[in-house]
Structure 1
Amino acid sequence: MLTDTHTHLYSDAFEADQDEMMQRAIAAGVTRFFIPAIDSATTEAMYQLEQKYPDQVYLMMGLHPTSVKSNYKEELLHIEAQFEKRNFYAVGEIGIDLYWDTSTLDIQQEAFRYQIQLAKKHKLPIVIHCREAFNEVFEVLESEKGEDLFGIFHCFTGSLEQAKQAISYNMKLGIGGVVTFKNGKIDTFLHQIDLKHIVLETDSPYLSPVPFRGKRNESSYLCYVSKKLSDIYQLSEAEIAHITTENSKAVFGI
């Protein structure tokens, strides 16, 4: 049994074949799908996906850093309103992204802190998006660290030192297709990280693993990530699946 801890299955990229894609994933052994939010525009699509697959799909709620715009306070109110209506399994994906826009750093930091506080209030994990912003993300985590701060550093692509720092804040490392890339680099040191700190993800429809790099990603491809970790850790794919799924249960509580 594999767990995809981060997959955007409600994406328009799956509009034509969502059901077939889900069946391929389930047939490949992926039985748990954790779904990150982007902003209010994706909320309804997430709910519809959950209604179709109530036994496999687990929703998060949060404001993605690239969606932190001039209306971000309205978006944060939308998130709070969703928490008043129902339960979620994490606050995510949240964080800081300086690849697309550096001018919004201040409000990205504010939204990040606000949502960390929301996660603490609800005793939930956070799922972090970080792109070209390790120092900025770590600065916020340092100020918020404690037993009530925990979660997943989604799509981890940093160095060994950054991996250790992320783990020091009670974060698991979300490992996906990048680990199969020739220039991904994380495969060169991942063996130095205890597997207890690792969870698997696809980030579908993005970041397809080799041999599908450059094409649409989907959750069934998680087996290629698992196979790569099997090579790195010299464990069977069944052991990788079991340990990483148990790690995901420790984070999400289910």
Structure 2
Amino acid sequence: MIDTHAHIYLEHFEEDIDQVIERAQAVGVKKILLPNIDSTSIDSMLKLEEKYPDICYPMMGLHPCSVKEDFDNELKLVEDWFSKRSFLAVGEMGTDLYWDKTFWEQQKEAFHFQCDLALKYDLPIVVHCRETIDETIELVAQYQGKGLQGVFHCFTGSVEQAKQITDLDFYLGLGGVSTFKNGGMDQVIPHLDRSKIILETDSPYLTPTPNRGKRNEPAYVDLVAAKVSEYLGISKSELDELTTANANALFFPSEKN
């Protein structure tokens, strides 16, 4: 399995990161993808990659909740990092109107800037869209036909929204919300394009049932996989194989050959 979205470089994991990695490997998680947040998270993220080079794979981007007055400087730093070394994707990027609506215009500007970087370096984008899924679909649709690919991380939308996203050749990241009793995903997941679903935890957030209230970690992607396979009516091993192939197609295309 691949946990396509985990912030395990954060302070929540400082005391036991080795055990966190061990538990993930014990349930069959082979790769953990690390989305960046902003300038404050880069050092700890890259140190984790250095410690676990064949397991932890970093991205580079600016999270929409970090788009503030100084976002131009943050974006220049992101751009500079791409000129210095390779990353797996542009992310975590996107839009968010849940916490703060002050910088909506700047969020859209940062979105376009990072989409341009993705096209320049032929990389996928990892999209956050809290309370903004329709607006973000519209933003992505502006790039239709230009080769932009990526994933709507933490997808919790409707069947119709899912179809709009997959019609744009984007993937759907399924995580802990898929296991929530009142999350509504039991009505959505059976209708999704199976070739476009990937698994994630968003560790340390959105811990899946039955561990809600605890810190999330990559090993719990196994719980997400079990619930998604149940909704799709396939075995968990089939689901693991399917979602791993999908994640590899998006993030490790050269390994398909």
In structure 2, the partner of 1:219 is 218
In structure 2, the partner of 1:154 is 153
CA distances 1:96-147 after superposition (whole Å, capped 9, x unpaired): 0000011110000000011001000000000000000122212211212224
In structure 2, the partner of 1:83 is 82
CA distances 1:1-49 after superposition (whole Å, capped 9, x unpaired): x100000110111011111111111111101111100001000001100
Output the amino acid matched with 2:111. F
| Distance in 2 of aligned mates of 1:220 and 1:75 | 32
Output the amino acid matched with 2:122. K
Find the residue that maps to 1:30 and give its secondary structure.
coil
Give the C-alpha shift of residue 59 in structure 1: 1.0
Find the residue that maps to 2:30 and give its secondary structure.
strand
In structure 2, the partner of 1:192 is 191
CA distances 1:138-184 after superposition (whole Å, capped 9, x unpaired): 22112122241111110001111111111122111000010000111
| Distance in 1 of aligned mates of 2:156 and 2:213 | 17
In structure 2, the partner of 1:206 is 205
Output the amino acid matched with 2:47. Q
In structure 1, the partner of 2:7 is 8
> What is the 5 A alignment of 1:139-178?
139-178=138-177
| Distance in 2 of aligned mates of 1:146 and 1:56 | 33
| Distance in 1 of aligned mates of 2:37 and 2:121 | 19
Task: Check if 1:234 corresponds to 2:233.
Answer: yes
Q: Which moved more, 1:31-40 or 1:140-149?
A: 140-149
Output the amino acid matched with 2:51. K
| Distance in 1 of aligned mates of 2:135 and 2:101 | 11
TM-score by length of 1: 0.98
* 8 Å CA contact 2:166, 2:193 repeated in 1: no
Task: Check if 1:37 corresponds to 2:21.
Answer: no
| Distance in 2 of aligned mates of 1:147 and 1:32 | 29
* 8 Å CA contact 2:176, 2:224 repeated in 1: yes
CA distances 1:42-65 after superposition (whole Å, capped 9, x unpaired): 000011000110011111100000
In structure 2, the partner of 1:20 is 19
> What is the 5 A alignment of 1:44-83?
44-83=43-82
| Distance in 2 of aligned mates of 1:53 and 1:159 | 37
Task: Check if 1:131 corresponds to 2:130.
Answer: yes
| Distance in 1 of aligned mates of 2:146 and 2:250 | 13
TM-score by length of 2: 0.96
Q: Which moved more, 1:236-245 or 1:188-197?
A: 188-197
Q: Which moved more, 1:72-81 or 1:140-149?
A: 140-149
In structure 2, the partner of 1:114 is 113
Poorly superposed stretches of 4+, deviation over 3 Å: none
Output the amino acid matched with 1:221. Y
Q: Which moved more, 1:131-140 or 1:203-212?
A: 131-140
Q: Tell me the percent identity.
A: 49
| Distance in 1 of aligned mates of 2:35 and 2:64 | 12
| Distance in 1 of aligned mates of 2:215 and 2:47 | 21
Output the amino acid matched with 1:105. W
Unaligned runs of 5+ in 1: none
Give the C-alpha shift of residue 194 in structure 1: 2.5
Find the residue that maps to 2:202 and give its secondary structure.
coil
